Amino acid sequence: MDYSNEFVTHEGKKLATNDDWILIVVCGVHNHPAAEYLEGHSYAGRLSYEETSLLVDMSKSMTIYNARHRYKVAEKAGRSQMQQLLGQLAMNKYIEWHRSRADTETVTDLFFAHPTSLNLLRAFPKVLLMDCTYKTN
């Protein structure tokens, strides 16, 4: 990628030891320091060759799909998909509002947002992105 000079700065320093140099590059598009710990990074969470082989074998024998199904059934504990969704939103402290038909208790409208998204909206009120989908999986 080509970034204009206003976004990229370089700084070279000669170190006191030997004849070593350090080059510091700060880019306005990617401007945070390297992570100290890789916990949570996709690189650290990648599967080893052995784990990948095991996953392929479990997929071929349907073992993994059966285990996932049993886990999902246990997690729902008799609740409908909508009850499960509303429970997860509440548990994860999402802001949620819904409207339903009184005669059937069918949800007709649902809005939810992560608290961080609302903080960003308050900070940048002129920029709003919404995903309004209908009958999608």
pTM for the whole structure:
0.44
List, for residues 63-120, the tens digit of each pLDDT value: 888 888 888 888 888 888 888 899 999 999 999 999 988 898 888 889 899 999 888 8
Q: Is the pLDDT of residue 32 over 60?
A: yes
- Written as one string, the DSSP assignment of 18-86 is TT-EEEEEEESSS-SPPPS--TT-TTTTPPPHHHHHHHHHHHHTTHHHHHHHHHHHHHHTT--HHHHHH
Q: Where are the domains of the chain?
A: 1-31, 45-78, 79-137
pLDDT band at 31 (very low <50, low <70, confident <90, very high): low
How high is the pLDDT of residue 53? Answer: 92
